[in-house]
Structure 1
Amino acid sequence: MNKVTVLGSLNVDTSFRVTDFPKPGETISVKEKGNAAGGKGANQAVAASRLGAQTSFIGQVGDDASGRFMVKSLEEDNIDASCVSINPSVGTGTATIMLDEDGQNCILVYGGANQAITPEDIEGAEDEIASSDFLVAQFETPQNVAIRAFEIAKANGVKTILNPAPAPKSIDPELLKLTDIIVPNELESASITGIEITDEESMVKTAACFAEMGVANVLITVGDRGAFYMIDGKHNLVPAYKVQAVDTTAAGDTFIGALSAQLKTDYSNVEEAISFAEHSSSITVQRLGAQPSIPHLDEVKELINN
């Protein structure tokens, strides 16, 4: 069993189902409303825990009911939340999600306490990081915090996975040098490298570009085409497991969590881990909500074996 530590965001999600997204100045009716625990970091930790990993979380919430709700939700998924700090002056993060009839989404995020976490807060989580197999981070917390966490990880032989989402305007070069595997989707990849993903040749060029930035291992999710990897100099495109999507909100987060739960630290099972992550995401997109849609290990195993 992998031990996975996730550094990331904790948001209370409010979802609205609509027929079509509103145009500027337009008022529309909402067909359905829901509230659930979310945040890219929290979603990835829930996925890792449900899909086979011993999981810990590093993050920050406000001293409010939403923060207590988020910590409780982590613990209910058997995630160690002892490294979640409480900020008395900033509220817990929130996200407002609109979902259309095609399963596409638009998301408004208030960072709150997620953006107030500091490198000093990471120092208290050093033992948790050092005892992990993988440390995962995204960009709903500050980059300087991820750098400090990755420094601790690298000093202790822990593999680092960076999910560059939401796509930033720029990435600190130091963070990339500390990253073992970068896992963007095709749009995030193009935003960072300037190379549009159109075919396998462009994927190989993208991997070379990331290597020049200091990241030797790349895994790019490319929608219904599957996932491309360049790991230890070997590359391939693993075909997607295709289904009809209802809600894509936590698809990428499920993929990251599943990958970190199943990937061996020597990457020897990379194709099997990618396929497992794709099957996991295929279940997620057929359900509504972020964390409520993330499957458990027995569901994915049943899907793969059938």
Structure 2
Amino acid sequence: MGEGLLCIGLTTLDMVARPIDALPSGEGTRLIEGIAVAPAGTAAGAAMIAARLGVKTALAGSVGGDFMGRVVRLGLEEQGVDTGLVGVIERYPTSATVLTIDSNGRRPNFHALGAGLFAPTGEAVLAAAGKVAFLHYAGIGGPKLDGGAGLAVVQSAKAGGAVVTCDLISPQPTALAELERLLPHVDYFMPSASEAFALSKTDSLDAAADFFLGLGAVAVIIKNGGAGSYVALGAERTALPAYDITPVDTTSCGDSYCAGFIAGLSRGLAPLDACRFATAVAALVAQGLATLGKVTSYDGVLEAMKAMTLKEPG
């Protein structure tokens, strides 16, 4: 087995502001509590958080040849993410999202498509995938990725002995066929509950997990927001509660859960314990603005787990 983590998938720049409950009339100005800018996306967000948690992390993604692209690279590199596989596509802007978080934590957003759709999967990425301990393939549902070389990347990682986790950009029509190709080579499939229901055409977490296990995944972990997560490790099924917190910004909670899970596994935690650690990571992200929220370090998460309270079942 190799070392470190390689994340592949969507790379964006998030611009987050809160609270925004209504737009000012005309060209008026309204003072708000905070604004934050950070790299984000299914791959870049997970990579940034994993690096903050002490995992040696590299990212395979794409940004535009613009100022926003330079900001994304700088933000990632400040956290220690290896950006050697982050490509610059001059003819496209960097993918970016403006998120207007309201007082209840809801996040209406405005997304501009760009270079982030074109995550690289060429020879350099194939070679890197074969040398890591963990591969997080977070490109399912990517319109420029589905049906492409993602399968070869995942197979390269498996051949090198890596643990492969998998997440979605979007449950768009091509995503199911891509899952049928990739899941037989995936150890942990980690969709959100809404994505799982949309793709499986079921309305229960148990049935959705069975559906993806039937496609070949070794295990399925369904992220269910404020309700926690549902973990299907083969026949073993566990519903884990979320922490009882007041959310500020839930934008990157799903990506942070994936990163926390991988960080936990990398420290030797059993899968279910790694899910518990991931739950705490997501809770800390939700209590602050943008990708990192209030995550400080791996040990900081362990300390927070002692102080935070889990929600009561039901």
* TM-score, normalised with respect to structure 1: 0.86
Distance 2:22 2:154 in 1: 38
Once residues 219 and 296 of structure 1 are traced to their aligned partners in structure 2, the CA distance between those partners, rounded to angstroms, is: 23
1:129-166 per-position Cα deviation (integer Å, ceiling 9, x unaligned): 11212111224742224333212212222221111233
Q: Give the partner amino acid of 1:189.
A: A
* C-alpha deviation, 1:2, in angstroms: 6.3
Q: What code does the residue aligned with 1:182 have?
A: F
**1:304 aligns to what?**
305
Aligned partners of 1:46 and 1:77 also within 8 Å: yes
- Give distance in 1, aligned partners of 2:253 and 2:219: 21
Partner of 2:202: 195
Instruction: Compute the displacement of 1:183 (Å).
Output: 0.6
Per the alignment, residue 224 of structure 2 pairs with 222
Q: Distance in 2 between matches of 1:127 and 1:285?
A: 35
Question: Structure 1 residues 57 and 242 mapped into 2: Cα distance closer, same or farther (>3 Å)?
Answer: same
The number of residue pairs the alignment matches comes to: 296
**How far has the Cα of 1:273 moved from its partner?**
0.6
Q: CA deviation at 1:82?
A: 0.9
Q: 2:191 corresponds to which residue?
A: 184
Indicate the residue corresponding to 1:5 in structure 2: 6
8 Å CA contact 1:17–1:30 kept in 2: the answer is no
Question: Given the alignment, which residue of 167, 170, 179 partners 1:166?
Answer: 170
Question: 2 CA distance for matches of 1:21 and 1:174?
Answer: 44
Q: 2:256 aligns with which of 251, 254, 257?
A: 254
Alpha-carbon distance in structure 1 between the residues aligned to 2:31 and 2:152: 44
Give the conservation status (yes or no) of the 8 Å contact 2:3–2:131.
no
Preserved CA contact (<8 Å) 1:45 1:257 = yes
Per-residue displacement from partner, 1:38-79 (whole Å, max 9, x unpaired)? 223111001111113111111111222222221121111011
Q: Which residue of 2 is the match for residue 137 of structure 1?
A: 137
Cα distance change, pair 186–245 in 1 and its aligned pair in 2 (3 A): same
Whole-angstrom distance in 1 between the partners of 2:30 and 2:151 = 41
1:147 matched to which residue of 2? 151
Segments of 5+ residues of structure 1 without an aligned counterpart are: 198-202
Distance verdict in 2 for CA 1:2–1:227, change over 3 Å: farther
Question: Does structure 2 conserve the Cα–Cα contact (< 8 Å) formed by 1:164 and 1:182?
Answer: no
Verify the 8 A CA contact 1:18 1:29 in the aligned structure 2.
no
Match of 2:50 in 1: 48
Report the CA distance shift for 1:281/1:30 in structure 2 as closer, same or farther (over 3 A).
farther
2:126 corresponds to which residue?
126
- Which residue matches 2:240? 238
Gaps of 5+ in 2: 308-314
Asked whether the equivalents of residues 135 and 164 of structure 2 are also in contact (C-alpha less than 8 Å), the reply is: yes
Inter-partner Cα distance in structure 2 for 1:183 and 1:133 = 18
Q: 1:200 is matched with which residue?
A: none
2: CA distance between counterparts of 1:212 and 1:29? 53
Is the contact made by 1:247 and 1:289 (CA closer than 8 Å) also made in structure 2? yes
Q: Conserved in 1, the CA contact under 8 Å of 2:231 and 2:238?
A: yes
Q: Partner of 2:311 in structure 1? A: none
The separation in 2 between residues aligned to 1:83 and 1:34, in whole angstroms, is: 26
Offset from partner CA, 1:203-233 (integer Å, 9 cap, x none): 2222211122222310012233321111143
Answer whether contact 2:10 2:169 (CA < 8 A) is retained. Answer: no
Kindly provide the CA deviation profile for residues 65-123 of structure 1, in whole angstroms up to 9, marking residues without a partner as x: 22222112111101111111121222211111121111111233223112234533xx1
Question: Structure 2: which amino acid aligns with 1:15?
Answer: V
Distance 1:289 1:264, change over 3 A: closer
Cα drift, residue 268 of structure 1: 6.7
Who is 2:312 aligned against? none
Q: Distance in 2 between matches of 1:154 and 1:204?
A: 27
Distance 1:279 1:193 in 2: 28
The percentage of counterpart residues that share the same residue type is: 23
- Aligned-residue CA RMSD (Å): 2.7
2:16 corresponding residue in structure 1: 15
AA aligned to 1:259 is F
> Which amino acid counterpart does residue 59 of structure 1 have in structure 2?
G
Where 1:82 maps in the other structure, the secondary structure is strand
Residues 1:85 and 2:92 are matched in the alignment: no
Q: Write the distance in 2 (CA, Å) between the matches of 1:269 and 1:148.
A: 28
- Cα distance change of structure 1 residues 176 and 193 upon mapping to structure 2, 3 Å threshold: same
Normalised TM-score (structure 2): 0.84
- Which residue pairs with 2:284 in the alignment? 283
The aligned amino acid for 1:221 is K
Check conservation: 2:16, 2:37, Cα contact below 8 A: yes
